[in-house]
Chains A and B, each alone.
Chain A
Amino acid sequence: MTRSLAVANAEFQALIRTKFFIVGILLVPVMVVASIAFTNYAEKQGDTERHRIAVIDRTGLILAAIQQAAAAPEAKPTTPVDPEATPDELNTVTKPSNLEILPVEVDGRSLDDVKVELSNQVKAKALFGFVDIPPTVLGDEANDAVTMDYFTENVSNRDVPKWLNKVINQEITRRRFEAAHVDMSLTDRLSKTTRLATRALVERAQDGSVQGSREVHSWETFAVPFGLMYLLMLAVMMSAPHMMNAVIEEKMSRISEVLLASITPTQLLAGKLIGIASVSVLLALIYLGGGIYFAFATGEWALVQLTLVPWFILFLLCAVLIFGSVFLSIGAACSDLKDAQSMMQPSMFFLIIPILMAPIIIGAPNSTLSTIVSLVPTATPFLMLLRLAMTPPPAAWQVWLSVVLTTGTAVLFVWAAGRIFRVGLLMQGKAPNLPELLKWIRA
């Protein structure tokens, strides 16, 4: 065991002292924050193009409303985005930047002539696009046969047509209500929806009083489960492939032969797995600590579920043993990185499955499908953890069965990796195929 710990210590030191690791620890949260910030910035600042839109208003009644809307500052929400809002509601219409609305006088010309002339102006970049509003749009009822037409070369830009559609239709609706002598402000008030708040269950305290329950926002229900699952994945992926590369390097530089002259392949494998586990746990603790600090600092203490930490560590260790064994076996079996990358692809598939299944499990955590996939040993560390972090949690028998299955699988994988290590580390040349690997394991 002392020898394995010496290997583990060397691997741990080698990994945490690499620039890759140090930069990686800082870089991941920085990249997440930066990508969010950049997306927000790009949404606001990305499109600085001048949008000159010509309007052929054949009703003669709508142009003014468009010009007024274009001149008005963009309304900003005074309350936070409703957490229960539907995707459509969240899909707010953004007013395009540098908007300029130009009226078009037909002046006895044919409509086609006007459209051709405006199209030439678009081609010449004098206009961004133009819109034709036919007079029939102000009929009493909405008529699917009537369309307004928007002409542009920039068909990929969706902001301009969405904004025009919204502004013009608001004005059409207002005018229809006005024509029907209906007070639009009254209908707005009467048709206002009432928000449905999701809350935790109510409990009666020992003194007989009923405890007020906390409102649970929908993002809370997936932020912690997703966060923990991805953290577990990150912790495995930041250490196991690196160790695989280290094994290949040892093989290529014949260090393996020196190591095996001093310790057994099993001791070497155990040391490397302990090294991976140590790095993964360190990494996870750094991020978990940061997350808990952030939650307390922002008052979101309800997000902190300390009872999940032991499960997280247990499943992290299982994932490290399973995927660490796979990656180390690949390293031992291959003599160069190219072969190793080819062999890695099937194992990456097993890491992608939990990512693909996670949204389904979030939607129905205790469905039959969720139960089955979270009991598949290679997916259990990620998906059972995901379910444990959700409400309602899985049945206890499912959790304990998953622990037994995953632990058993981890032991099996480590044993098989030990067999592959014993043969593969001294092998040179072509990488083995699957039947050969199975032969090594059975040998």
Chain B
Amino acid sequence: MAAIELRDVTKQFGQVVAVNALTLDVLEGSIYGFIGPNGSGKTTTIRMIMNLLVPDHGSVRVLGQSPGSAIRDVVGYLPEERGLYKRMTARQVLRYYGQLKGRSTSEVDAAVAEWIGPLQIGDWLDKKVQALSKGMSQKIQFLSTIVARPKLLILDEPFSGLDPVNADVVRSAVLELRRRGTTIVFSTHDMAAAEGLCDRIFMIFLGRKVLDGSLDEIQARYGQDTIRVRTAAGPAALQGLAGIEAVTDFGNYQDVRFNGDSQVLLGSLAARTAVSHFEVTKPSLNDIFIRIAKPPAAQTSITGATGFAGVGR
């Protein structure tokens, strides 16, 4: 059964179509990743699911019902921009947000007690929010979305601003919630997190759905045309080689989108420079994202006139 069903949903702001004829099913118990460039319609989609915005056209059903008061208590929502009352203590905020979901103080306290250890927040519960670090505030905000034990959890950029340790803590908590049967939707710009966590991935671009499926399905659709190479000469060794459609330069290695026989490419490279790594691989989600979202003029590479998309240099 689908936890979220969107049917032909359209939302327009003035002349801008933020979401265009979107149809989507999020299966119960799954982790669904929403990806897309800034301004592509992710947050608008999430707000329509949360009934914060009403679609101009189409229908939205959440946990089998129209979104509204009935499902608010069983849906947890972490918005992109965090909001906590600075003058309250973390415990007061958690109790208040729990009460707004119809939970008693004791129910909230019990839920908080379960997560004190996993989220490593024990010493901070009775501190005022304004005294908390950004990471700790985000963990409290995350906890506030799950204290009411939601069936569906919607997280908008849950890992943004977290250091690797805290990001790992939240990632573990997300997996634990999935293990308990919670359906989780999260939007992210962290492609590695989406690849690692999500059962299915949905990408929206310019308001339209451009990807929807498991990672394997998506990668299969984009073909095994990516070759990761590390050479002594670096990206310069790739210039002018036939069959290269695009190069993403990561500094120490390059991902090459190649149309042709990989053995020919290996031979050509070896003739030019020392090759220390040559791997035929599936395209990463990051590659696929860039292929879809990068404006055509900025797309690198056409055979014979190779350009380079630098990443993290």
Contact = CB atoms under 8 A, between A and B. Distances in A.
A3 B99 contact: yes
Given A250-B83, A255-B84, A261-B75, A426 B69 contact: no
Nearest to B101: A262
A253 B75 CA distance: 21
A263 B100 contact: yes
B52 A262 contact: no
Task: Tell me whether chain A's interface is mostly helix, strand or loop, or mixed.
Answer: helix
B83 A262 contact: no
Contacts of B50: 260-261
Contacts of A253: 83-84, 86
B77 interface: yes
Interface residues of B, number: 25
Interface string B62-80: 0000000100110101010
B82 interface: yes
A259 B79 CA distance: 11
A258 B52 contact: no
A2 B104 CA distance: 11
Interface string B197-240: 00000000000000000000000000000000000000000000
B52 A257 contact: yes
B159 interface: no
Interface stretch (A6-14, A132-140, A156-164, A348-356): A6-14
Contacts of B72: 261-263
Contacts of A262: 72-73, 97, 100-101
Interface string B172-183: 000000000000
B181 to A, nearest CB: 21
A311 to B, nearest CB: 35
A356 to B, nearest CB: 38
Interface in A233-264: 250, 253-264
Contacts of A254: 79, 81-83
Contact of B79 (A2, A3, A14, A258): A258
Given A14-B87, A264-B69, A426-B52, A259 B82 contact: no
B81 A6 contact: no
A10 B97 CA distance: 10
Interface string B37-62: 00000000001001011000000000
B96 interface: yes
Interface in B81-97: 81-88, 96-97
Contacts of A264: 69
Nearest to B84: A255
A260 to B, nearest CB: 6
Interface residues of A, number: 20
B82 A10 contact: no
Task: Tell me whether chain B's interface is mostly helix, strand or loop, or mixed.
Answer: loop
Nearest to B53: A426
A365 to B, nearest CB: 46
A428 to B, nearest CB: 10
B83 A255 contact: yes
Contacts of A250: 83
Contacts of A10: 96
A255 B100 contact: no
A6 B77 CA distance: 19
Contact of B77 (A14, A256, A261): A261
B78 to A, nearest CB: 8
B80 to A, nearest CB: 8
Contacts of A255: 83-85
B87 A3 contact: no
A3 B104 CA distance: 11
A262 B75 CA distance: 8
A2 B97 contact: no
Interface in A262-303: 262-264
A264 to B, nearest CB: 6
A3 B102 contact: yes
A7 B82 CA distance: 19
Contacts of A263: 72, 100
Given A261-B50, A263-B72, A426-B52, A2 B102 contact: yes
A72 to B, nearest CB: 63
Nearest to A7: B100
A255 to B, nearest CB: 3
B141 to A, nearest CB: 8
Given A263-B72, A264-B69, A426-B52, A257 B99 contact: no
Interface of B: 47, 50, 52-53, 69, 72-73, 75, 77, 79, 81-88, 96-97, 99-102, 144
Given A254-B81, A254-B83, A258-B77, 5 more contacts: A3-B100, A10-B96, A14-B85, A258-B83, A261-B75
28 contacts: A3-B100, A3-B102, A7-B100, A14-B85, A14-B87, A14-B88, A253-B83, A253-B86, A254-B79, A254-B81, A254-B82, A254-B83, A255-B83, A257-B77, A257-B79, A257-B83, A258-B77, A258-B79, A258-B83, A258-B144, A261-B52, A261-B75, A262-B72, A262-B73, A262-B100, A263-B72, A426-B47, A426-B52
Interface pairs A-B: 3 shortest CB-CB: A255-B83, A261-B77, A262-B100
Interface of A: 2-3, 6-7, 10, 14, 250, 253-264, 426
